[in-house]
Structure 1
């Protein structure tokens, strides 16, 4: 059910994602029993698409 990010370097500094019919869940791989964020599938898909396109609009 849960899968680790393909970008994980193996040090455990990554997120895990689980897709359900009505939600996508995300958790910290270092704190598996800890909090879980859930998103509607369309919102998660938009986030992934914007990440891949480099258009998130995050400014540092």
Structure 2
């Protein structure tokens, strides 16, 4: 025979504070990784603009 379970007893618990802490920590880690990638990208950038005051030799 099939046991009937009411809907409010069959549900899982909510996310609560634990889930919120995980989401906030993940967001902070994303920002740190983005910042490191930006700094690294600026360090390896070899396409620096030439001096605007000089004219190229023709």
Normalising by structure 2, we get a TM-score of 0.27
- Of Structure 1 and Structure 2, the greater helix share is in 2
> Which structure is richer in relative contact order (CA contacts within 8 A, separation 6 or more)?
1
Query: What TM-score, normalized to structure 1?
Result: 0.26
Greater share of residues in strand: 1
| Greater gyration radius | 2
